[in-house]
Amino acid sequence: MQFSIASYSFHRELESGRQDMFKYITDCKELGCTQLDPWNSHLAPLVAEDEQIRASSNPNQATFSAAGLEYVARVKEAAVAAGLPFGCIAADGSHVWEPTKEARDANRACAYRWLDVAHRLGADSMRTDTGGKPELPDDMFAIITEGLQDIVDKGKALGVRVSIENHWGASNIPRNVVRVLDAVNGLTLLFDSRNWAKGMREEGWEIGVPRARDVHIDLFRTAEDTPNLEADIERLIKMLVKSGYNGCWGIEVIPPDGDEYGAIRKTMAFIEKTVASA
């Protein structure tokens, strides 16, 4: 089976300083992953540059520095040494909607830079976000879809597929996800088991499963989850298999007890057992 760990699963390890991008790579290798799915905060020197570029007078003209790109090359070398290709780069800060054109332009430039990073790393895809609001009025929808189509087209030129995730803003509302995917040619869905608006999880699963190009599975309970979460996630995995999903099983866990490594191992074993019995 193909497995990956969305590196947000290690956000506590990252914040504590116990893990960086290079340890993420070796951890993924030791845990039995077949690809790397880093959240861009793990590529910390580039995020720091991103903020400097965003604050500059001409953010849409700026690129990452030579030192930043040398860091990208070292990351690629470490991944090659581990024998792990890059799957999806999750590019926070590249979302399309902001209330002002200046902010939208800065985010668009950010998206272009992360597409370049994804290309240099040989990644299959980059995840961006819609931004926006759950109501998604027509004027906001037009700006979001125009922006996403531009990012998708830039990605195609670089050999990088572009996805949105059911995540936040307008994109955790199932009808909005369908509307945006239908409007943007070539845009794909990174389906997350958790991130649907309150009360919309079942609708999200119904519309999202057939469209899932990549997945994030979280087996751990929050205060908003039903008491039978494991049974529900088993049902979801079987829905995905029945729909024909045969891609990488991405794990993005947020365990309440903070044991990120234990949660990843438990989720990996759960997915493997459930797929085998589907």
* Percentage of the chain lying above the pLDDT 90 cut: 88
The rounded mean pLDDT for the chain is: 95
Q: Is residue 212's pLDDT more than 70?
A: yes
* Spatial separation of the C-alpha atoms in residues 94 and 129, rounded to whole Å: 7
Report residue 213's pLDDT band, with 50, 70 and 90 as the boundaries: very high
Strands of the 88-90 sheet, one edge to the other: 3-5, 249-251, 212-217, 188-192, 161-165, 125-128, 88-90
Class of domain 3-277: alpha beta
CA trace torsion 198, 204, 205, 211 (10° rounding): -150
Question: From CA 73, how far away is CA 165, in angstroms rounded?
Answer: 27
Q: Which residues, in sequence order, are bridge partners of residue 217?
A: 251
Beta bridge partners of 192: 216
Q: Report domain extents, the chain.
A: 3-277
pLDDT tens-digit map of 131-189:
999 999 999 999 999 999 999 999 999 999 999 999 999 999 999 999 999 999 999 99
Task: Cite the DSSP H helix spans in the chain.
Answer: 11-16, 21-31, 44-54, 66-82, 101-121, 138-158, 174-183, 201-208, 229-242, 260-277
pLDDT (average), residues 68-90: 98
Mean pLDDT across the stretch 53-62? 81
Amino acid at 210: P
Secondary structure class of 11 (helix, strand, coil): helix
- CA 52 vs. chain centroid, Å, equals 23
- Residues 58, 7: contact at Cβ < 8 Å? no
Spatial neighbors of 185 by CB under 8 A, at least 6 apart, are 149, 152
How many CB atoms are closer than 10 A to CB 125? 20
Q: How far apart are CA 48 and CA 242, in angstroms?
A: 42
Give the pLDDT score at 106.
92
Indicate left, alpha or beta for 199 from its phi (over 0: left) and psi (-120 to 50: alpha).
left
User: How does pLDDT run across 92-140, given as a tens digit for each residue?
Assistant: 999 999 999 999 999 999 999 999 999 999 999 999 999 999 999 999 9
**In this structure, is the dihedral angle defined by the CA atoms of residues 263, 269, 126 and 85, taken in order, positive or negative?**
positive
Whether 61 shows a pLDDT value over 90: the answer reads no
Which pLDDT value is given to residue 224? 56
Helix, strand, or coil (residue 251): strand
Q: What percent of the chain is predicted at pLDDT more than 70?
A: 97
**If you average pLDDT over residues 248-256, what whole number do you get?**
94
Q: How many CA atoms lie within 13 A of 54 on its CB side?
A: 17
Cα separation of 7 and 150, whole Å?
Answer: 27
